[in-house]
Structure formats: C-alpha cells, structure tokens
Structure 1
Amino acid sequence: MTFEEVYKSSLDYFCGDELAAKVFVDKYALKSNKGEYFESTPNEMHQRIAREIVRIEQKYPNPILTEKNILEVISDFNYLIPQGGNMFGIGNSYQLTSLSNCFVIGNRTDSYGGIMRTDEEQIQLMKRRGGVGHDLSHIRPRGSPVNNSAITSTGMVPFMERYSNSTREVAQEGRRGALMLSMSVEHPEIESFIDAKIEEGKVTGANISVKLTDEFMRAVESNRSFIQRFPIDSENPQIIKEIDAKDLWNKIIHNAWQSAEPGVLFWDTILRESIPDCYIDSGFGTVSTNPCGEIPLCPYDSCRLLAINLYSYVKQPFKKEAEFDFDLFEEHVALAQRMMDNIVDLEVEKIDAILMKIISDYESDEIKHTEQLLWEKIRHKTLIGRRIGIGITAEGDMLAALGFRYGTEEATNFAERIQKVLALSVYRASVEVAKERGAFEIFNIELEKNNPFIHRLKEVDSQLIEDMQQFGRRNIACLTIAPTGTTSLMSQTTSGIEPVFLPVYKRRRKVNPSDEITKIDFVDEMGDSWVEYTVFHHKFVKWMEVQGYPTTRKYAQREIDALVAKSPYYKSTSNDVDWLQKVKMQGRIQRWVDHSISVTINLPNETKEELVNYLYIEAWKSGCKGCTVYRDGSRNGVLVTTSKENHKIDGGKEYGENLQEMKSGVNQSEKADFISPAINLYRVSFLAKRPSKLEADVVRFQNNKEKWIAFIGLLNNFPYEIFTGLNDEENGIFLPKSVSRGVIIKNVDENGDKRYDFQYSNKHGCKTTIEGLSAKFNPEYWNYAKLISGVLRYAMPLEQVIDLVHSLHLNDRSINTWKSGVERALKKYIKTGTKLKGEKCSNCGQESLVYQEGCISCASCGYSKCE
C-alpha cells in the first residue's frame, strides 16, 4: 500500500482526526525500508501485537492469554496501550529495533577511551530507536591534571556537546534521538553544566538535569555553605570546594525560569525509594534517568512501557451517576502485567536478533566489539531483572468525566486512590506470575525489607508481602508514568497525569486561494492563505453530547466560552490549575510509583523566578523524584501562544484567536513529535534577531569538476542561513575533510558592520576560525544567499525553498552552478519520505518520488538518483 492509501484509511479510522492519523502512519504502521506499507489502520497493528504476545504465552505452562482477550483490551486504544517501542517493533521484521523506550548507559570511566566508548554506545542504541540517558558526574573538572599532552582537563562541556551532536546525527524514522545528561550537584564543575545550554547553539540535542542531594537542599533552606568534591563518592577526594548553596540554587532557578532547563532530580529520594537499588551488588545501582525522567536506571538496563487509559474505566462519563469501574480496572492491570512480562521475552528475542546481525556483519571483530558487548550487557540486565513500566494516561479526562476539577483536593485524593490500586494490583500480578514462571533471577526479599515502597505495600496488604516472600516476584520494578505524547493523540485523550491543555482551540489549514470554493480567513506575511477552524477536545465533545448540546453546528466564540464555563474542564487547563496543588498531587501519586513520573509545570510568561523557587522546594518536600517547569515563551523555535488578535470572519463576527495546540513544556524529544505533524498548519515563531552563535553543518559537493562547500547555520535543527561557494585555498575557505560541524559567529563592529565567522575544533580540541564568510565568496553569491537566508528564517517548508531556488532564471553559468549547489545542500535537511508533488519517476512513470536522505527515490520501483 502507498502512503496516501494508508493515510486515507487511518483518517477514516480516527474519524477525520488528521493529527492522530498522521502519527499512526508516520510512526507505527508496519512498512518496509522501501516505503511499502503493510498496515492500513491501527486494528492491523493491534492484531500484529496480539499474535506475538500470544506466541510467547504459549511457551509457558498453563497459558492464559489468547489473541481474543488481548485484542479486547488493546483494540482502539481503549484500555491498555503498549507504548511507542512496542507498537513499532513487536512483530516488525522489516526494521531491527529494540522494544525498549528507555536505556541508561555509562562505564563511568574518566578517560578519553571511556568517554568515547559511551559516545559509541549511545549511537548504537539510538540507531535501534532507543532514548538514552547517562551521567557525567565521573568526568574530572576543568583544569584538573591529566596524563596526556593537554596537561589539564577541558572539563565536561566539550563532551556534553559531543554527546549532543551524536544525538542530532542519528536518525530514528524521520526524527532525532533523545538524550538525558545528568550531573550531581556535588561536582565542582556543576555551574558549567548548568550554563551549557544557556549559550545559544550549545547542547541542543540533549535534556539536562541536576541530581540534588538532601544535604544540598537543606543547605539551601538554611542558607549554609555546601561542600563539593571530586570524585564525588570518594572518601579521600582530590578536589574539595566550598560554595554558597543559595548562590548555586539561584542559578538553577534562573536557568530553569529562562530556558526550561535544567530539570531537577531529587537524587536521595530516588535512591531511597528505588527497589532495584536494593540489588546494587548485582549492578542495579541507579545512575541516571531516561530522557523524560520517568525511569531511573542502572547502567545497561532498559525498560518497556505500557499505559492504561483511565478514561475507559468511567461508567456513564459526564453524568451524575458516573463511577470508576475498579473491578474491571484491577482485572486489566493483571492482564497488563502478564502482557508486559511476555514483552520482556519478545525484547530478548530482538536483542538476540541484533546480536546475530552484529556477528554476521562484514566488519572486523575489533570494530564490532563495542556494539556486541553493549547488547550482551543489556540482555543480561533484561533477563535477571525483567523490569517493566506500567503507567496511566488520560488522568485529566478521567477526573473530568467523574465530575472532579483537576487540581482540587478532591481530585487529588481520587487520583492517589487510583494509583494505589494500580500499584497493589501490579505487584499482586507479578507474584502470581512468579508462582507459574519463577521470580526474577536475583530476587531476595531480605534485601528489600527496608525499602519504603515495599513498606507501604505491606501496610495496606500484608498478605501480598507474605506471598512475595514465599513465591518471589516476576519483575524487579513495575510502575511508571510517562508523557504518552503520541499515545494520547491516538487515544484522543489527555496525556499522562496532565490536565487538558485546552478544551477548545483554533487551528489553521493552508489552502489554495485560486480554488473557487475556498474561504480565506488569514493571509500570512509570506502571502500564504489559510482557513481557520475550531477544534474541540474529543472528550469535551463527549461532554457536549451527554449534556444535549449539538456537536455539528458552528458556535460563535462567546458561545464556546459559555460552554467551557459550564463544563468540568473549566479552570482545569494546563495554565489554570493551581501549580502548588499540581506539585503536591505529583508527590502523593509518586508514593505509589516505584520508578518515577514525567510531568511538567506549565507557567505563564509573566511568572517570576520566586515562584519557580517555591515550586522546586515544595516538590522536594512533597516527595517528588524530579521536577521540570516550562514558562511560556522561554524556548525559541517552538509553537507559541499568539496574542488575542481579532479577525473578522463568519459574517463579520469577531473572536479571539488561540493557536495553542502544542502542549508547552514537554521534553525536547516529545516536542519534535508535536511539531512534525503540525509544521505546515502553523507559523513557527523563529527568532526575530539572529543569535550571536549558530551551530552549523558543512556540506561539500562537486559541480563540473569544481569542488564547492556550503556552511548552513541551524536554529533548532532547521536551516536558518546559508553561505556557499568554491572550496579552495585562494578564497581562504579550504577546510580539512574531517570537519563537518562548527559554529557560525555573527560579529558587529562599532560602526554596525556585520561579519560572519566560521569556527571549528580540530581533533585536539583547538579552535580554528575562518573570518568573514560573507567576504570569501563571489559577491553575487552573497546577495542571493541573503535572499534565501531570509526565506529560511521564516521557516518556509524546505521543499518550497528548493523549488524557489530551482525556479531562479539566471544566465551566468557560475551562478547556475552555485544555484545547484544550494539545492543539493538544502535537500539534506528534508525529512526522509517527503513526496515530490507532481513529478513522475523517469524509470517507471509513477508519481511516487520521495526524498531519501537528500536523494530522490521512487517508492514504487526503487529507482534512486542524487541531484
């Protein structure tokens, strides 16, 4: 099947929900590496998943799960929703990927060899679709003596950039990988770590979090000094540094307020509550978290995720008689645990297949050694711990359907009750499966006897702990709450434990103004025409139906406002909820989650730093394991709330425009999930003023036997400006072939004259600068480059930019050569799979040409060419 056929079927399945359909087709529908689709709707995906889970079930004595009862709970995203890695990978023989969403790695060796090994491991996991986290607390501070030609250490920031760049360079089915870098507050160079992302253009491919100890937090509260040391866990540290705890805390707060990073991890709480850390002698000591923070992990462990759709357990939603079906919920939780245990075995099969591929690859054993050893370590940890992550989604919709207002004490009480029942049910199920299949390999109840989470389970159900002591438990840890970004789009519910973002919002679709029946509501500064329409949150529509309000008529804005005010979603949106109550809710739910919770506190732009300070302190006191804030507008290059501008449409009626579709404050990798399908529906807000520094790619190409080079400045991974010309020593542009990355620096002198320099680091870490890019090339090239850069800065789709360049009618042969080079350079950034409209394959004649990593390929016959 073609993309168009699958998209049409999916659009019908999702009842016209374009975003949900595109997410399924782009991310989860089974397809070959040639772009051939084999699933037209999620029904077929769910059948694929059910078949594989049952195949594993049949390998064990007394199989219980059948294809029928699995489909009853996973079809239509109604009850149990295996998360991204599982939907994509289970039963997929076309792409060899892991089923795990989360990995943590790190040999914790402070040497170039160890640091490069971590970089290679990170890349190997990301190419298998994994999100990765690792800790940098073992890297010696800047200025420390080293036994090599550098004399002293460069510190961790250059390595942060290395890991970040690696993340951005590894493609994962049209997206980039996700990375979490963490560092202990005890490290003497923590300030450099905190500041690394404030400087424009640095560490753009990673989230960063600071590991805060209780000792540090108490020092902040009492305004005392704090001792840092290196190594941080040494009894005889080489470096000891006394700092003012409040000064460092204020820097953390300021940076979080300004840029939404760093996030904070309350590390002593994480370690104290962690059941896997009871097995630290077996290598399960937690060192970092996955990119979203919901799974703290030891090195070389991973986790597979599943979310339970809470809204589906509300009987008679939005009615006075609404109630939560606890019996069905507990029944399905037990099914979820058994399904996930089978998925652990499916993951081991995937790892075995990866290992077989590595062994059979043509490279030498020396080259393959790191990758092979990495997966052998992950396989070992997977089998001896059998870690799973069962969580929830649609908390906001569930509470609204029961008549609760999110953020109130009543709603928090009920949310905690749900999570408590979930925790007890999962652990009971894990014990029951251990009776049949055996406990995880290193289970020892004596090691867990002082764990606070186990104590809470015992206080509520002492029989559970007695049974656990007798039969063991199947999984070392079982629970989490993940962001569920794409999951919530396809289940058409609120995400994770978050409230609804907006019950009603405005959306735009680009239209052709030449079409006779087209109605134009808005023309942007690029001259593109758009039609605007109102989008209702799916469960808000359900509320309207229950209350007897027509759902097919067109409502004026004042009528919409009146409807929202009557609904249980009123004053319950992301920006409405009481932030302190949300933090306290997270802390209370965390008591019944053995891993962690990914949650973001969304704050309005006018929020003061004092509030961020207060919320972080309360998060620590409330028992949260981590916390992230997002102040509206604190990050550039993402979709933002527009001001309320009045537009006259629909017979001259005025209404306030609101384009807040995207959930602000989700982590970096999840933002990409939202931006990708929405990029052509909204105007992206790029910086009006160019940053002083931009990361840059170097692209080389050859035209008519001449060697050419392009420097492409990037803002948030999108081409922002371009310089290009002949690559030779005469114009001073000659670069070593090894240089593919650098920074373009804008300099303005006292007269206001601008100069653009390119700076790169050689293999020894020394920086080299090529001054005045704009003066190095032919002036005519520069004039056209300014024109194209201006178009790029307004985020015009790259296919259209390339068409614009291609259509330039130029007489000079040299300029035409330059024009071809610009096209080649920009094609590198077009998303793989983007279709060329109106062009036919010269080999088979079909209109099925797509971009594949900068080249053009035919999805029908496989013909490929690079222009």
Structure 2
Amino acid sequence: MKVEKQLENTVTYTSEEAYEESLRYFKGDDLAARVWVNKYALKDSYGNIYEASPDDMHKRIAAELARIETRYPNPMTEVEIFELIRNFKYIIPQGSPMTGIGNPYQIASLSNCFVIGHDGSGDSYGGIMKIDQEQVQLMKRRGGVGHDLSHIRPKGSPVKNSALTSTGIVPFMERYSNSTREVAQDGRRGALMLSVSIKHPDAEDFINAKMEQGKVTGANVSVRIDDAFMKAVESGDRYVQQYPVDAADPVTRKEMDPSALWKKIIHNAWRSAEPGILFWDTIIRESVPDCYADLGFKTVSTNPCGEIPLCPYDSCRLLAINLLSYVEEPFSQSAWFNWDLFKKHIHAAQRLMDDIIDLELEKIDGIILKINQDPEDEELKRTELNLWLNIKDKAEQGRRTGIGITAEGDMLAAMGMRYGSDEGSEFAIEVHKVLAIAAYRASVYAAKERGAFPIFDVEREKNNPFILRLKEADPELYFEMLTHGRRNIALLTIAPTGTTSLMSQTSSGIEPVFMPVYKRRRKVNPNDKDARVDFVDEVGDSWEEYVVFHHRFKHWMEVNGHDLTKNYDQNELDELVKLSPYYKATSNDVDYLKKVKMQGEIQKWVDHSISVTINMPNDVTEELVGELYLAAWKAGCKGVTVYRDGSRSGVLISNEPKEQEEVHSEGVIFPTERPAILEADVVRFQNNKDKWIAFIGLIDGKPYEIFTGFSDDEDGILIPRWANDGFIIKSREADGSSRYDFQYKNKRGHKTTIEGLSYKFNPEYWNYAKLISSTLRHGMAIEKVVELINSLQLDESINTWKNGVARALKRYVPDGTEAKRQKCQNCNSTNLMYQEGCLTCKDCGSSKCG
C-alpha cells in the first residue's frame, strides 16, 4: 500500500499568479483559466496552490500513471503518457481523477460515480439511516451517488412500531435531498440520483414529489420503467404494481391504468425536465456485469447523470477521448479521420483506465487508514469503514472502467458532416463501434499481461446481447477473450464532460465540445465581460456557449480563408454562418426522433449507458415528448431525459389573461383580488442568534404575500418544527376589518388554526411586509423584489428582519436567473445566477446561500 505524503520544498503560487499563468496557457480565455484554478489546480486546505497551469497538472498525472505502469510488462513511459493527455488533446481524465491523482493534500476517491444499496431487504429505519450516512460519507469524498428507493414500503403499509403505518417513499426523498444539500455547501461536490421502479405502488407520489416548489431540490429523480409497463401503455392493457417489486408472492398488489400514470410522467417531464426515464429491462438485458448478479453485481440504480448503471458499492472512474483531435485537416475539403491513431489511443486509454483502478485502490487504502486512525469510537466509525471495505472489494472484483468520448458534434463538423444528418449519424455509429471493439481488445490484452478480473467466467457471459454483438463483429476478438479472459467487467460510457471540455477549447486550438445552440447575436469579445466590440457571432443562451461558438466559428473562418480583420455587417455574417457545418445543426433544428434512433444505435456499442438530454424548444407539445419517449424505448435506448427550453422556471400558462387577473412577469397569472384561501410555505431561518419564521402565501407556486417576524415572539408562533406548509386564510372581524389566519394539519390529519398572523408580529415588520406583498401581487419579478429588499435603507434594528425576508424569498427565484449588480466573493466575477435559491458563480462555481 502506498500512502501519499505531503510534498516538501515545492513552489507555491498565489491564486492570481496561477490565474495569470493559466490565462497564458488558455490563450487569453478568462473563463477556462478561472475554472481550472478554482476546480482542478493542486491545492491544500490552507489555500496554497502548487500548480501554475494544466501543464503542471498533466505532469503530476503522468508521473503517477507511469509509476503504476512499471508494475506490469511493457510499461508506457511518463513522457508517452504526458503526450497523450497534455493540452487536453487526445485523452482527458475527468473531474475526480484529474483532481485526485497524485494529490497528497486530499483524502478522496478517484471515482466520479457510486451506487449504494442493500444486498437484501433494507426496509427499516436502520437500513434507511445506513444509506443516508453512506451517501454523506461518499459525497464528502467528492463522489456523486445514486440509490434506489423501491425497497421502501408503500404509503399506508403496516409497520411494527408506534407509527403503525408507513409514510411511504416521499419523506425519505426529502431526507436524502437535504443530506446532499448539507454536504454540498460552499461549492463541495454532492450530486444525488434517486430512482424507483414504476412497479412500486408509490411510483406516482415519487414522480410528483419534485413538482412542489422547494421540495427534493438536492436530487435528480428517475423512474425505472419495465417493458411490461411500456407494452401496457401501447396496448391499453392494465398494469400491476406491487410490493416488494420483485416478489413472486407480493404483500401488496394493485392493478391500475398505466396510461394515466404515463401521461403524468410525460406532463412532469415536459413541465420541469424530470423525472428522467430508465428503461430498466433494456439496462439489465444488455448489462455484462449482471451476468454476475448472484456474486454481488446486480444493477440497482445509476449515478446522478444516468450513464453508469451500477450494483451496490460499485463505482466508476471516467475518462474521455477527444474525437475532434483525430480529424486531420479539419474543416477543409480534405478532412479525413485518422482511424489508426484513434485505435492506438483507445488501447492506451483503456490501459490507463486500468492503471487508475490501481491508483483508486491506493486511495481507498488511504481512506481506510484514516478512518482507523481517527480518534472516534469504533462504533461510530463502523458504517464508514464497512462502506469503503465494500467499495474496495467491488473495485478489486470487477475493475470497472468508464471510457467515453467528447467533441462528437465538432468531429462531424470538422469532417464536413452536419450533426443529425443521416450521413453524420452513420459515421458516429461507426466511431462507437470501433471504440467498443478496440477497448474490449485492449482489455483482453491487459488480461493476458496482468490477469483477468477475478470473477471472469466466459460461460456466464455467453448469451449476453452485448457480448454476442462483439462476437459477430470481431470473431477473433471473442476467441482471444475465451483464451485470456478480460481485465475489466465493463468498460464504456458516454458521460457529460462538463468543465473539462470547456478548458480544452483554447489549449488545443479548437473547441472540442459541440454545443449546437446559437440563437441571439452580441458584439463582444468572449474574453471581455464589459462587452468590448470586437467580433460579431451567432451565440447561445449562456456565456459558456458564447465562448464555445466564438472559437469554433472563428477557426472555421480561418481554415476557409475568410478575413477575420474585416468588419462584417450582420447580413454578411448570416451568409457565412449558412456556409459553416454548424448551420441547421442547432438543438431546435435536429429531428428529435432521428436523434433518439441514433442514440439507440450507438447504445448497442456502449456497455454502460449514454447520458443524453434531448433539448426541445419551449413550444413543443406534451404529445411529442410522449412520442419521443416511446421511440427511445423502441430504439433500444437505456434512458432518456427531455429538457424543454424554460421548463426549469415553472409552469408556463396561457398568455391571455383572464378577467380580473394580472400576468406576473414569469408567466404566472395573479388575481387582482386576493383569494380567501392561499396555499402557504413556512420558512424558518436564523440571523445571528435570533430565530425567525415566515409564512409565504403562494399562487401557482409563486410568492404572493409574506408575513414574518420572531418565531419566539411573546405572543407565540407555536407550530411544530415538522409543519412546513398549510394555508393562509383571510377572515373578517366583527367590525368588518380583515385578519389573516394560518391553518395546518397535524400528523393525524386534524386542522389547527393560528388566528391573526397580522397581530403576531412587530407592527413595523407588518407594515414593511404589506409593502413587499404589494410588489409581489402586482407582478414584480421575484429576483427584483429580493434586490429591492436588499437595497432598503433601514434602521439597524430592522436590518436583521430585512435580511431574513430576502433569504426567505430567494428560494423562489427561478433557477438560471441572472443576478444583476452583484459580485462573486470568490473570484469577483459579475457572472452570477440563482440556483436553488443560492447565488452561484458561473465562472468559478462557488455558491452563496445566505
């Protein structure tokens, strides 16, 4: 076992020094430089930075991989490895490996993704709490986590404790979501996927859980849909839900109409981009690891992005191959794809991925050593210790890898093919077929030199559809696998490449990630956020997309001899764009059904899964979304997620206001006369040592009015901590004046009413609250209301109240809303947006929720 020691006598850099050096490395790209320094540069807990640019990072990674290589025959040298990964050109280790390899300052895993769960039944508070702790323990080590809730008893089931009946799945969704938000604070990693079987009687409640504003905000949710459900939707037959979902003799059984639930799934996905769909029978049928299900490799859920279906305690490290770099003479009439170099590098990439498993095992040994040395009682450490022992066992037994690709769209454009065309789809499918065959051959060669994964058994795999597909495509490869085995239980995926893709755009000369959305035009230099006039481009919906298209289109112009110094007018630029291979390849141009069919064909050559979101315009119909999901299932996709432009911002309602109604700026229709009863959220917060409470009246999930003050006021706002919602009821006193009451239901369903909210709080608070409520009712955008509140010049005695009101209302600002006139406290960027009520910097990723 190797335990890394902290580096001695090494040079350190200030944040500004690292930024300036990285800015030179990225050829002046401010965004890429800041992302690298803030997320990936080697640093310790005291803020000391040990790397000045990605060159230093890549040397660190190459040195560690070369050290592992010396354990095996025919080792690659450090120089060879460095040349493969430098400048993000060919092979790109993804987030966790890039951050953690050779890092002596963090005790963290190299795995990007984990799934946790129980070998048997986990339907007890002990099992639920164990999963909760394991989730937190993994997230604090930077891992994204997925787990399935199908093992939890449905709502109303008898239980042998004082509650008498089960609450069902939804309260535990909120528990796991809150744990994620807790561990992910201050910009730390903490992504979560919750899944459930469509066969579970609580599936509809699960599907609806995130539709309530502010609920389950710390998790992605996906439904495991089986073939029987899809066939019943098509035929109009009945479908049976049951618990346990896999039992031959279930305790609970419910026959239902699947079409209604299917429409609910489609509506919610159309409305809010969730739930995602996992076509579970396809996943299990195609899964090579599930040939070893009885040995602990039964797939139960996926990682947060859905591209790695996993068994409990298995994990995966990710690496991407930059497809654009294999196009010789790109964007020219002579462009060609270098298949020989591509295959050679696939072999190297699979070998390096196997090395990363050895590095991960060292990291896990370091984590286990730390846990054993921690001063806490052994009883307190037991769950965490067993968690990592289980993860180590799965890594040793399966040696799972996750090779993927990036820049597929740009590869096609550089070859002169349009993304979404028949020609482009055929070429992309061939690329993935070659990738699959070459990666599996590399794993067979590694088994010959290093040994097969310990539980490899050719008899178990002989009827697996994916293996049979490889056998048909390359019989020689299959014969070699019979002889030598395979080094890794599963190898391939297509994951979102995130910020690592953004960084590679200027370091390698061309942007290698295809983001085919450009809708508006700006006259700005992409490195000048003060909008200095420089070059006119067609651009996307975000700063990142703008930077991407600038570099991509500019390079195409250079290759094709267009004068970059000329001051083009808009008509000239429009004509130039029409000549480029990106024209008519935007997300709104691509035929959606063709895209899912292409995904299904590519899926045949990916043994894990594909993380793909189908982007659709705002005016797309629910019916088309439903057609898309059915087509994806029939095409053999393992999962699909639809994102309709603007769907994260809430329900869009008819633009034609009804009589006596006002249209809120976000599309919600507010009545000019207050309804007698409003749904309400209860928000508790603390400023300094003072505890506050707010009652926020809602219409269509949007704030309409607010009452707030001290929660322990002498008059008493005595409601239990678990009461988070209820109703605000407008009533009349005997003298004709109005008052506002709050009503909630206790755990037995009985109504409890607190009369006179307006009398419970300090009169000055009440007067200001009426003013704020007036701005809400008359349609001022919620982020503008928050800005207004923050700008109020009030006495010091009321500032605490003002800050609390702003905090309470921030949670209702639609995700993605730009924050004006504010700066990031981490990097001073003004490129901020609201995300789940927090101010998030789009440049460095830091988040402030206070």
Q: In the alignment, which residue of structure 2 is the partner of 1:677?
A: none
Per-residue deviation, residues 640-690 of structure 1 (Å, max 9, x unmatched): 9xx9xxxxxxxxxxxxxxxxxxxxxxxxxxxxxxxxxxxxxxxxx978779
- From 505, 515, 518, give the equivalent of 1:502: 518
Give the one of 164, 167, 178 matched to 1:154.
167
Stretches of structure 1 that go unaligned for 5 or more consecutive residues are 521-529, 644-684, 839-853, 855-866
Residue 699 of structure 1 aligns with an amino acid whose one-letter code is Q
Read off the aligned partner of 2:16 and give its amino acid letter.
Answer: E
Structure 1 714/30 Cα, relative in aligned 2: closer, same or farther at 3 Å?
farther
Relative to 1, partners in 2 of residues 1:223 and 1:289: Cα closer, same or farther, differing over 3 Å?
same
Match of 2:825 in 1: 834
Question: 1:821 deviation in Å?
Answer: 7.6
- Whether 1:24 aligns to 2:36 is yes
Which residue of 1 is the match for residue 231 of structure 2? 218
Match of 1:120 in 2: 133
787, 810, 814: which one pairs with 2:797?
Answer: 814
- Following superposition, the deviation at residue 568 of structure 1 comes to 0.7
Could you say which residue in structure 2 is the equivalent of 1:362? 375
Instruction: Tell whether 2:61 aligns with 1:49.
Output: yes
- The equivalent of 2:576 in structure 1 is 563
Three-state SS of the structure 1 residue aligned to 2:556 is helix
CA spacing shift, 1:286–1:765, aligned 2, 3 Å = farther
**Against the structure 1 CA distance between its residues 820 and 480, is the aligned structure 2 distance closer, same or farther, given a 3 Å change threshold?**
closer
Q: 1:84 to 1:777 in 2, by over 3 A?
A: same
CA deviations over 1:804-863 (Å, ceiling 9, x no partner): 57xx362xx63366568889999999999924989xxxxxxxxxxxxxxx9xxxxxxxxx
Q: CA 1:575/1:325 → structure 2, altered by over 3 Å: closer, same or farther?
A: same
Q: Any idea what SS the aligned residue of 1:607 has?
A: coil
Tell whether the 8 Å contact from 2:729 to 2:743 is kept in structure 1 after alignment: no
User: Per-residue displacement from partner, 1:390-409 (whole Å, max 9, x unpaired)?
Assistant: 00010000001001111111
For 2:833, the equivalent position in structure 1 comes to: none
Paired residues of 1:406 and 1:499 also in contact (CA < 8 A):
no
Which amino acid in 2 is paired with 1:72?
E
Please give the residue correspondences for 1:609-758 in structure 2 after superposition, counting only pairs within 5 Å.
Answer: 609-636=622-649, 696=683, 698-699=685-686, 701-702=688-689, 707-709=690-692, 725-728=709-712, 730-733=714-717, 743=724, 747=728, 749=730
Query: In structure 2, how many angstroms separate the alpha carbons of the residues matched to 1:766 and 1:359?
Result: 50
Match of 1:276 among 289, 297, 301: 289
Offset of residue 557 of structure 1: 3.0
Distance apart, 1:775 and its partner CA: 4.8
Secondary structure at the aligned position of 1:433 is classed as: helix
Deviations 1:375-424 (A, max 9, x none): 11111101111101000010000001001111111111100110011001
- Do the aligned partners of 2:697 and 2:727 also contact (CA within 8 Å) in 1? no
Aligned to 1:656: none
Instruction: Report the Cα distance in structure 2 between the residues aligned to 1:553 and 1:42, rounded to whole angstroms.
Output: 34
The change in CA–CA distance for 1:539 and 1:585 in structure 2 (over 3 A counts) is same
Supply the AA of the counterpart residue of 2:380: I
What amino acid does structure 1 have at the position aligned with 2:409?
A: G
CA distance in 1, matches of 2:146, 2:123: 17
Q: What is the total number of aligned residue pairs between the two structures?
A: 769
Give the SS at the match of 2:427: helix
Q: Does the C-alpha gap of structure 1 residues 411 and 367 become closer, same or farther in structure 2, counting only changes over 3 Å? A: same
Maintained 8 Å contact 1:387/1:475: yes
Task: State the alpha-carbon separation in 1 of the partners of residues 696 and 21 from structure 2.
Answer: 39
Gapped regions of structure 2 (runs ≥ 5):
1-12, 535-542, 656-664, 671-677, 814-818, 830-837, 839-849
Q: Residues of 1 paired with 2:386 and 2:522: CA distance?
A: 51
Measure how far apart 1:713 and its partner are: 8.0
How far is the alpha carbon of 1:210 from its aligned partner?
1.1
Q: 1:403 to 1:754 in 2, by over 3 A?
A: farther
Supply the distance in 2 between the matched residues of 1:352 and 1:236 (Cα, whole angstroms): 43
Q: CA 1:771–1:4 in 2, change beyond 3 Å: closer, same or farther?
A: farther
Show the 5 A alignment for 1:337-736: 337-492=350-505, 500-502=516-518, 505-506=521-522, 536-636=549-649, 696=683, 698-699=685-686, 701-702=688-689, 707-709=690-692, 725-728=709-712, 730-733=714-717
Instruction: Tell me the secondary structure at the aligned position of residue 196 of structure 1.
Output: helix
The offset of 1:710, in angstroms, is 5.8
Amino acid corresponding to residue 343 of structure 2 in structure 1: E
Q: How far off its partner does 1:144 sit?
A: 0.9
Looking at structure 2, the residues matched to 247 and 782 of structure 1 have their Cα atoms a distance apart, in angstroms, of 45
Change (3 A) 1:758 1:341: farther
* Cα offset, 1:743, TM superposition: 3.5
The alpha carbon displacement at 1:637 in A equals: 7.9
Aligned to 1:96, which of 107, 110, 113? 107
Aligned mates of 2:570, 2:158 — CA distance in 1: 66
2:275 corresponds to 1:262: yes
CA-CA distance at 1:138 after TM superposition: 1.1
TM-score (norm 1): 0.80
SS at match of 1:413: helix
Partner AA of 1:238 in structure 2: V
Asked if 1 retains the 8 angstrom alpha-carbon contact of 2:588 and 2:615, the reply is yes
Q: Shift of the alpha carbon at 1:105?
A: 0.5
The amino acid of 1:293's aligned partner reads G
Number of the residue aligned with 2:222? 209
Over residues 464-494 of structure 1, what are the superposed CA-to-partner deviations in whole Å (9 max), with x where a residue is unaligned? 1111111111110000000112122112299
Name the CA shift for 1:408/1:542 in 2 (closer, same or farther; >3 Å): same
- The answer to whether residue 95 in structure 2 is matched with residue 84 in structure 1 is yes
Kindly, what percent of the aligned residue pairs are identical? Answer: 59
Give the CA deviation at 1:289. 0.5
Task: Give the counterpart of 1:40 among 46, 52, 57.
Answer: 52
Equivalent residue in structure 1 for 2:765, among 739, 762, 781: 781
Deviation at 1:43, TM superposition (A): 1.4
TM-score relative to the length of structure 2: 0.82
Given the superposition, is the C-alpha separation of residues 758 and 585 from structure 1 closer, same or farther in structure 2, using an over 3 Å criterion? farther
Q: CA deviation at 1:347?
A: 1.0
Q: Is the 8 A contact 1:126 1:172 kept in 2?
A: no
Shift of 1:2: 2.9
Q: 2:208 aligned with 1:195, yes or no?
A: yes
Q: Write out per-residue CA displacement over residues 746-804 of structure 1, whole angstroms, 9 at most, x where no aligned residue.
A: 73648998969697999x99999877766533232355567789799654799x99985
Using a 3 Å threshold, how does the CA distance of structure 1 residues 238 and 803 change in structure 2: closer, same or farther?
Answer: closer
Equivalents in 2 of 1:836, 1:595: separation in Å? 38
Distance apart, 1:599 and its partner CA: 0.2
Superposed, 1:300-319 pairs within 5 Å as 300-319=313-332
Q: Which range is displaced more, 11-20 or 819-828?
A: 819-828
| d(CA) in 2 for partners of 1:621, 1:512 | 47
Higher mean C-alpha displacement, 348-357 vs 828-837: 828-837
